[in-house]
Amino acid sequence: MKKILTLAVFGGLLAATTLQAQIQVYICGSTAFRSNAYRAMRSMFDGGSPAMSPATTSSSGAMTFQGTITPLFGAQTVTLYCYWSGSVQGIHSLTASPGDSLPFHNMDDSINNHTADLAFSDVFQASSGFTTPELTDEQVAIQPFVWVRSSSCPSTVTNITMQQLRFALQGSCPLSYLTGNSNDYSSVLYFTGRTKDSGSRVIALSDCAYSGTYNVYSNAFGTWTKFTANQIVNGVNYGPGFTSGATEAGNLALTSVNGGGVGYLGYADARTAVSAGGTSTAQIITYNGGLPFNGWTGTTNGFNNPDWTPVTTGKYSLWGPEHLFINPSGANYANAFPVFTNLATWVDLDISNTVPVTAIRLSQMGNTSRSADGGKISP
């Protein structure tokens, strides 16, 4: 009996040691920044080659990495779980009590419902409506956004202004309102977009100071139709709209029979909103007469490695800092904090070393900054 007890105690100690050797960190938030976040997290692991599920990084809405990160955790096995729920919802997930239970994936792709430790977000916490408790905010990059026309939208739609959006964002407007051609009055232009948990939506509406009722349309089976179903997550109603930039981009790529559409996207997703004919450029239009980059030509240089001077010099306003948030009173703070404090460095390295370039390094901004979504750009 004594021997059995000794073995049982030894086995318990071994199990405890094994459990202590596991570091698990759960990350949620911005869908617009997921590609950069995936590459940065993968690079953190020893050799830049953790085990992954799914086996290759992509635009997937969920991804899990596992391996060792010796500089941070020594020989301990580290698992980073990612589930991209949206910028606003990501902030809610960290501030809610109890925290939101999100469907992270295990390495075998089974569902692991769990609360989040970190959240990427395109927006400031003050814009989310979830302001208590105050989260620790680390800005990691600058996220540019653009307006994109659908594949069936006439090429005469080349620009949209803040003033036009304040009227048109009710959901639809005469095509002539954007083209200035009286022959287009009988044609309709529809506006698509994201649910209220989207940072892309917050940035787009804040920048044009829109505060009205926003009806979101989608191209359903070739016909623009108003979204009616609400997205409800953990008891919060985020309203109707697309739940990711990738699905909105795919929708803008479809043809339609009852008019064209226009929507807002992060630059990474906008690059994928190609026309049904398979052209090599996104249907990006100017905003207030400008683009976030110079020399837009659709060539490899312009498309994959933009010159972000209009953003970095304050001449283009549709952008926001990419934030990484952590709750300082979170239950897993001790394990999550080393990842939180190091991810900014790896994000910066990813932006500087990876083509296509879809975000802007903080160091490129010089003295240009803003302290609120849609707020004054300084200097």
Tokens of 31: 């869908």
* Burial grade of 354 (CB within 10 A; 0-12, 13-18, 19 or more): middle
The predicted pLDDT at position 15 comes to 36
Give strand pairing partners of 173. 189
**Within a 10 A sphere around the Cβ of 258, how many other Cβ atoms?**
14
Q: Given this model, what pLDDT does residue 279 score? A: 46
Given a cut of 70, whether residue 13 has pLDDT beyond it is no
What pLDDT score was predicted for residue 375?
A: 95
| Residues pairing with 182 in the sheet | none
Domain(s) of CATH 3.40.190.10: residues in the chain? 23-142+320-365, 144-318
Mean of the per-residue pLDDT values of the chain: 89
Confidence of residue 271 (pLDDT cuts 50, 70, 90): confident
Which of 97, 45, 100 is closest to 73 using CA atoms?
45
Average pLDDT of span 349-367: 91
Reported as a single tens digit per residue, the pLDDT across 73-119 is 999 999 999 999 899 999 999 999 999 999 999 999 999 999 999 99
Q: How far apart are CA 117 and CA 33, in angstroms?
A: 17
Residue 336 has pLDDT above 60, yes or no: yes
Range scoring the smallest mean pLDDT among 43-47, 314-318, 354-358: 354-358
Domain 23-142+320-365 has CATH 3.40.190.10: yes
pLDDT value of residue 297:
46
pLDDT of residue 114: 97
Give residue 295's pLDDT band: very low, low, confident or very high (50, 70, 90).
low
- The CA distance from 305 to 299, in Å, is 10
* HSE-up (13 A, CA, CB side) for residue 262: 28
pLDDT attached to residue 58:
65
Residue 181 has a pLDDT of: 94
With beta carbons less than 8 A apart as the criterion, state whether 147 and 107 touch. no
**What tokens does 212 get?**
């009205």
The helix/strand/coil state of 85 is coil
Domain 144-318 coded CATH 3.40.190.10: yes
Instruction: Copy the structure tokens of residue 44.
Output: 């953190």
Rounded Cα gap, residues 351 and 20, in angstroms: 34
**pLDDT for position 272:** 80
Contact between residue 123 and residue 373 where contact means Cβ atoms under 8 Å apart = yes
pLDDT surpasses 80 at 191: yes
The answer to whether 73 touches 338, Cβ cutoff 8 Å, is yes
| Residue predicted with more confidence, 264 or 234 | 264
Give the pair of three-digit tokens for residue 222. Answer: 């070739």
B/e letters for 64-97, b = 16+ CB within 10 Å, e = fewer, are: bbbbbbeebbeeeebbbbbbbbbbbbbbbbbbbe
Strands of 106-171, DSSP E: 111-114, 118-121, 136-149, 159-160
- Looking up tokens 């635009």 gives 59
pLDDT at 2: 37
pLDDT the model gives residue 14:
37
What's the confidence (pLDDT) of residue 60?
A: 81
Is 254 or 276 the better-scoring residue by pLDDT?
Answer: 254
Going by C-alpha positions, the residue among 117, 122, 257, 126 that lies closest to residue 194 is 122
State pLDDT tens for residues 136-173.
999 999 999 999 999 899 989 999 999 999 989 988 99
Q: Mean pLDDT throughout 23-31?
A: 96
369 pLDDT more than 50 = yes
Tell me what pLDDT residue 108 has: 94
Q: Say if residues 85 and 114 touch (Cβ distance below 8 Å).
A: no
